[in-house]
Amino acid sequence: MIADQISPKSAEKTHLDIYDTHARTSFAARLGVSEDRLRKAVHIVGSRISTLTSYFHK
């Protein structure tokens, strides 16, 4: 099956796992915000990466 051939790491992530320390730290740094501000934004707009990026670039 094709789905079995695609590794999870090669697939593009659409959502941020806010409980993954490394993912949270690197995404906050990429956006130039604190982890606390990122957590609050996830609470407000959700964990979709495109939505979070738009939220911080207003």
Q: What is the pTM of this model?
A: 0.77
Q: What is the reported pLDDT for 53?
A: 96
Joined tokens for residue 8: 């999870």
Q: What is the reported pLDDT for 3?
A: 47
The mean pLDDT values, 10 residues at a time, for the chain of 58 residues are 49 89 96 96 97 93
Q: CB-based contacts of 22: which residues, under 8 Å, 6+ apart?
A: none
Residue 8 Cα distances to 1, 13, 33, angstroms = 15, 9, 27
Q: What is the reported pLDDT for 7?
A: 47
Number of DSSP helices (H) and strands (E) in the chain, helices first: 4, 0
* Domain boundaries along the sequence of the chain: 19-58
Q: What is the reported pLDDT for 12?
A: 77
CB 42 within 8 A of CB 18: yes
